[in-house]
Amino acid sequence: MNNILKISYRNLKRNHRRTLLTASLITLGVVFVLVYTALSGSFKNYMVGQITDSSMGHIQIHKKGFIASVENLPLDKNLNAKSIEYLEQFLNDSKYIESYSYRIKFGAAFSNFVSTTNIRLNAIDPTKEFATLPALKDRLVEFQDLKKGQIIVPELIAKGMNVKKDDPIVLVANNKKGSVNGINLKVAGLVERISGPGGRDGYIHLDDAKKVLRIKGVEVSEIVIRLKDNKMLKEAMVELNPILNKLNKKDKPAYEIHTWQNLSPFYNIIKMLDIMNLAIQIVLISIVLISILNVMIMSVYERIKEIGTIAAMGTPPKTIVKLFLTEGLLLGILGAILGGVISLAIVEILNMIQITYSFGKQSNLILEPVLAFKDVIVVGAIVIFISLIASISPAIKASRLDPVEALRSN
Amino acid sequence: MIDVKNIKKVYKVGELDLTVIDDLSIIINKGEFVSFVGPSGSGKSTVLNMLGCLDTPTSGTININSQDTTKLDKTKLANFRGEHIGFIFQSFNLIPVLTVYENIEYPLIMIQNLPEDERKQRVENLLKEVGMFEQKDKTPDKISGGQMQRVAIARALVTNPKIVFADEPTANLDSKTAHMIIELMKKIQKEHNTTFIFATHDEKIVANVDRLITLVDGDIIEDKRVNDE
């Protein structure tokens, strides 16, 4: 095998310009795929992190029918004390769940004593909410703590209503029976908006919500769950699946469980990014396939007499196939290694430069491309495998050449 | 020994069947220094290719050392050539990316798969025998035509073949070099008792062979012993 490698290597060296050109083309393709993967991965990770760590959590549990009418923020589809007790058994026993938090979601009128606007609110237990959504605090401006009697106001409303930290405001809301109630609150800070559902909601303390909505006892709209790792989503959903077996009085499932992927429209963008990634990989495969096929066919036609000579001497067809396959393989390996190294260097440079970008209303987001070693290996393996595939046809053609005809050629 | 019985070679040219060799029979004994001669198109190279197992006859049998080579498939023919036959070509046909040493070593690695010690011994002996030891690390583009043909002879002999086929081996050489090459082949034939079979127009080879077979239009018109010592 060493000798086949040696001869193949020297054959590639013989046409070093062509070899370099082909390897460069493959390298370029590999760099394109890997850098794109790193960049799109950075964007994807940031957005997924924003959605799951500062707004939606990984999984949410609601009373059946809540999500269908979520735009109306229904108060008659809340989970009661009995339901919560039932659900907590599953949540506390789960090996995938890190923490969970309760929310009452409702709409109210927000007044600064001069003018009034509508506001969507999440009533939370701050300790549990911040443990479940660790990045939520990053979205809060001029904020220290959320206590009873305070409100975190969405930045846009604060700007429109001209309110700032420590300003008094009034919330007026209807409870589920239709009666109106109000509560005086003080602004504890502002919250930056993010894309997706719940990205423009304000926050108040759970006890204040109960007071204004006149809720007696325990009642929540949703349970937001944080997993130990987003990658455990599938396993966690399987584990929580028995919850769906619980039936209500109408013999229908009493609860509904959704992942952030079901709830966030951004998941479709992520899927699009993955499809684009796949498309770029197909382009890379085509580049490698055509380059190697082209160079190997040329190589066979240029060396017909040489192939005839080695065949005449008694080189078995199998060995001739190996010689040409090894040449294609070496080209692929060269392109894959160069591409991998250059991509790692580019990603490193991009991280040093710290390029910023905007997404929706968010700006100055830093691009932090990460190139996983696994991605480099997978792309490299694809390139090498395709190089081998592309070399098969020219190699077989070489091995099937008639020695007499081959020796006659010039 | 080569025993050729009633071989026929027909090429298909479009719709036509072109018979190049028709009912040719011949016996060539071990250690003979024999040449096929004849005008261009007489079938010399075709016969040489069939005897050298590069081509198969349309009908008839070719027995080489009791093996009917017409019965062998492509891979077995390749193996048979690797074990029993050496070739010397008009254009030397050395592998350009390999050095002189590696060109000679090539059949021992790729065909006979011999251990390195034995390869080294065989290659170095032949390099000395053909007077190319000093040039062993050069690539073919760095040596002369005569030197290339010496290397080609060494490569043809390195597998210890029983028979060496040489198609116009001196055609690309000047007169003096051609003489040296013929002398070299003659010396090797005597020392190793190797059968040398040529196809040539070259009078210098004709003057040195033991047996001369004249072909015209695919038929043997003369088969005579010459230079009998």
Task: Report the pLDDT averaged over residues A249-270.
Answer: 85
Is the separation of the CB atoms in A355 and A14 below 8 Å? no
Tokens of A296: 């190997």
B29-58 residues touching A, CB cutoff 8 A: 49, 52, 54-55
pLDDT confidence band for A197 (50 / 70 / 90): low
List the one residue out of A227, A194, A173, A184 whose CA is nearest residue A55: A194
- The string of pLDDT tens digits covering residues A323-347 is 999 999 999 999 999 999 999 999 9
Query: Are B54 and A312 within 8 A, CB to CB?
Result: yes
Any chain A CB within 8 A of the CB of B83?
yes
Tokens of A398: 């070489």
Q: Is B229 helix (H, G, I), strand (E, B) or coil?
A: coil
pLDDT given for residue B187 in this prediction: 86
Q: Is B79 helix (H, G, I), strand (E, B) or coil?
A: helix
Query: Are A404 and B78 within 8 A, CB to CB?
Result: no
Nearest chain B residue to A401, by CA: B74
pLDDT confidence band for A148 (50 / 70 / 90): very high
Using CA atoms, how far residue B220 sits from A194, B163, B214, B217, B224, in Å, is 96, 21, 6, 9, 11
Which CATH number fits the domain that encloses residue B27? 3.40.50.300
Neighbouring CB atoms inside 10 A of A215's CB total 20
Q: Is A44 helix (H, G, I), strand (E, B) or coil?
A: helix
Any chain A CB within 8 A of the CB of B87?
yes
Query: Are B95 and A306 within 8 A, CB to CB?
Result: yes
Task: Report the pLDDT averaged over residues A257-272.
Answer: 86
Cα A127 to its chain centre, rounded Å, is 27
**What residues contact residue A286 under an 8 Å CB cut-off, 6+ apart?**
none
Residues of A with CB under 8 A from a CB of B: 3-4, 7, 10-11, 13-14, 305-306, 308-319, 403-404, 407
Look at residue A1 and tell me whether its pLDDT is greater than 90. no
Is the separation of the CB atoms in B67 and B80 below 8 Å? yes
- The string of pLDDT tens digits covering residues A33-56 is 899 889 888 888 888 888 888 888
pLDDT confidence band for A153 (50 / 70 / 90): very high
Any chain A CB within 8 A of the CB of B155?
yes
Look at residue B227 and tell me whether its pLDDT is greater than 80. no
Q: List chain B residues with CB under 8 Å of A16.
A: none
Query: Are A313 and B49 within 8 A, CB to CB?
Result: no
Domain ranges of chain A: 2-50+268-408, 65-253
Q: Could you tell me what percent of chain A has a pLDDT over 90? A: 45
Which of A261-265, B43-47, B67-71 is predicted least confidently? A261-265
What single string gives the DSSP state of each residue in A355-395?
A: -EEEETTEEEEEP-----HHHHHHHHHHHHHHHHHHHHHHH
Task: Report the pLDDT averaged over residues A362-366.
Answer: 74
Q: How many helices (H) and strands (E) does chain A have?
A: 13, 14
Average pLDDT, chain B: 89
pLDDT given for residue B228 in this prediction: 58
Any chain A CB within 8 A of the CB of B109?
yes
Domain count, chain B: 1
Interface test with A, best of B12, B84, B93, B114 (most A CBs within 10 A): B93
Using CA atoms, how far residue B45 sits from A325, B21, B200, in Å, is 33, 11, 9
Query: Are B79 and A404 within 8 A, CB to CB?
Result: no
Question: β-strand B59-64 against B67-68: which pairing, if any?
Answer: antiparallel
Interface test with B, best of A313, A396, A402 (most B CBs within 10 A): A313
Is the separation of the CB atoms in A92 and A226 below 8 Å? no
Tokens of B145: 């035509």
Is the separation of the CB atoms in A38 and A343 below 8 Å? yes
What is the interface pTM, i.e. ipTM, of the complex?
A: 0.88
Look at residue B229 and tell me whether its pLDDT is greater than 60. no
Nearest chain A residue to B76, by CA: A316
- The string of pLDDT tens digits covering residues A378-406 is 999 999 999 999 999 999 999 999 998 89
Look at residue A98 and tell me whether its pLDDT is greater than 90. yes
Is the separation of the CB atoms in A98 and A228 below 8 Å? yes
pTM for the full predicted model:
0.74
Any chain A CB within 8 A of the CB of B114?
no
Tokens of A202: 């304000």
Task: Report the pLDDT averaged over residues A123-139.
Answer: 91
C-alpha–C-alpha distance, residues B197 and B194, integer Å:
10
- The string of pLDDT tens digits covering residues B85-115 is 999 988 889 988 889 999 999 899 888 888 8
